[in-house]
Chains A and B, each alone.
Chain A
Amino acid sequence: DTGVSQNPRHKITKRGQNVTFRCDPISEHNRLYWYRQTLGQGPEFLTYFQNEAQLEKSRLLSDRFSAERPKGSFSTLEIQRTEQGDSAMYLCASSLASQGLNQPQHFGDGTRLSIL
């Protein structure tokens, strides 16, 4: 399978703990995006990388959230001191910059985070 891969698929943790998610994009894709999705809503943009550079962060991305893409390949999203409101599906997507603005974003199946 050469699609976008996210791990873990599910994460259950206690409030206050730190969690880290991983995203492996389609290998030739240089753009990578993180989204958060709650039940019954569309995804909300969190942040975006082109290669290893983090080019944009949403205001939704509080100080407790940090994302990295150290070598321009896989990316990690870390949430520190988790809160109940962090419970959501975290989606990763990738795309090719060379195809211009009209290329589709290819999504992984997400990591579902549940905070107890």
Chain B
Amino acid sequence: KNQVEQSPQSLIILEGKNCTLQCNYTVSPFSNLRWYKQDTGRGPVSLTIMTFSENTKSNGRYTATLDADTKQSSLHITASQLSDSASYICVVSARRSNYQLIWGAGTKLIIKP
């Protein structure tokens, strides 16, 4: 069964600290892995998209890694800011088509001043 699992479910850190969010997946055949940021009451916003051949991709203070062999990804946030408080959702696309996205439940990140 195609699944995406994220950990931790929630995380609280102090402003300025770094953190890493984890994503494990069992989607096959794999096409790409995406990380989205979703603020409360808003739609998700794309942070990164990685294909099978990409190990790492950065978007400002966000760096995503992908290990296609172990089917794991991480999202590292550097020097956190209050505006980073949001849910971070890992999404894996199966190769058959674009619409078949398997969404994780997300990690709720709270940044405290």
Which A residues lie at the B interface, using CB under 8 A? Answer: 4, 31, 33, 40-45, 48, 55-56, 91, 93, 95, 97, 101-110, 112
Query: How many Å lie between the Cα of A104 and that of B59 in the bound state?
Result: 14
Q: Which residues of B contact A110 (CB under 8 A)?
A: 41-43
Could you give, for residues 75-113 of chain B, a 1 whenever the CB lies within 8 Å of some chain A CB and a 0 otherwise? 000000000000001010101011111011110000000
20 more CB-based (< 8 A) A-B contacts, given A40-B106, A101-B95, A105-B46? A4-B43, A40-B105, A41-B105, A41-B106, A42-B91, A42-B103, A42-B105, A42-B106, A45-B99, A48-B99, A91-B44, A93-B43, A95-B98, A97-B98, A101-B97, A102-B93, A106-B46, A107-B43, A107-B45, A109-B43
The residue that B32 contacts in the complex, of A91, A93, A102, A108, with Cβ under 8 A, is A102
10 smallest CB-CB distances across A and B, nearest first, come from A42-B103, A107-B43, A104-B46, A48-B99, A109-B43, A101-B98, A109-B42, A107-B44, A102-B32, A42-B89
Q: Which residues of A contact B103 (CB under 8 A)?
A: 42-44
Residue of A nearest to B104 (CB): A42
Query: How many Å lie between the Cα of A77 and that of B95 in the bound state?
Result: 27
Identify which of A4, A103, A104 gathers the most chain B CB atoms within 10 Å of its CB: A104
Interface residues on B, range: 20 to 34
Residue of A nearest to B48 (CB): A104
Interface pair A55/B43, CB less than 8 Å apart: no
Interface pair A45/B101, CB less than 8 Å apart: yes
